[in-house]
Amino acid sequence: MMWPLIRQIAKVGIVTEKRPVAQEMENPKEIHDEILKILGRALTIREVDAGSCNGCELELNALGNVYYNLEGLGIKFVASPRHADMLLVTGPVARSMSHALAVTNEAMPDPKIVVAVGDCAINGGIFGTSYASLGGVSKALKVDLAIPGCPPEPIVILEGILTAVRYRMRPRTGEK
């Protein structure tokens, strides 16, 4: 049983890629160190789908695959908002999700970063604003950074996450 498994692992090898992000960040170790320097720990993210078509979720899940190896950078999606530094929101905010989104945000400790992922999260995108949709995430929460795309590709999301960490978390003021 074990041999075919090990053979397959050995055959594939390590396929994790260099991050094609900003020049100074090519080395995963540097990203790792920078996150450590800013946060003093791994970066933890709570994701909330506030009404997306699930396209953005596909790309967020792809970030975990071996090519991007998100966890290898010290970035982790967590189940509990109490453990999260960053709230990552996709989709237009469906009115029926606005309460759950607000409660998740409240449950997170300060300081926290709120990132809107995808065109819908920015302004409602193709779904716009209606009796059932509030539009972008900024209608419900204070957003620190928005990542455009329909859906944004994994590498773009990764760039956005790193940018948000750098610019929002550095002054650790603890403001709300």
Contacting residues toward another protein, per CB under 8 A: 1, 4-5, 8-9, 12, 15, 47-62, 64-67, 77, 79, 91-92, 94-100, 104, 126-133, 150-151, 153
- Smallest separation (angstroms) from another protein to the CB of 108: 12
Cβ distance to another protein smaller for residue 38 or 129 = 129
- Smallest separation (angstroms) from another protein to the CB of 175: 25
- Smallest separation (angstroms) from another protein to the CB of 58: 6
Instruction: Fill in the DSSP letter of residue 153.
Output: P
Cβ distance to another protein smaller for residue 25 or 53 = 53
Residue 113 and residue 167: Cα distance in Å, rounded? 10
Which conformational region is residue 60 in: left (phi greater than 0), alpha (psi within -120 to 50 degrees), or beta? Answer: alpha
Instruction: Fill in the DSSP letter of residue 145.
Output: E
Q: Helix or strand or coil: residue 43? A: strand
- Smallest separation (angstroms) from another protein to the CB of 88: 9
Contact 172, 77 (CB under 8 A): no
Cβ distance to another protein smaller for residue 36 or 150 = 150
Cβ distance to another protein smaller for residue 104 or 123 = 104
- Smallest separation (angstroms) from another protein to the CB of 166: 23
Cβ distance to another protein smaller for residue 27 or 61 = 61
Angle between helices 55-62 and 154-169 (to 10 degrees): 80
Can you give the C-alpha Rg of the chain in angstroms? 17
Instruction: Fill in the DSSP letter of residue 76.
Output: E
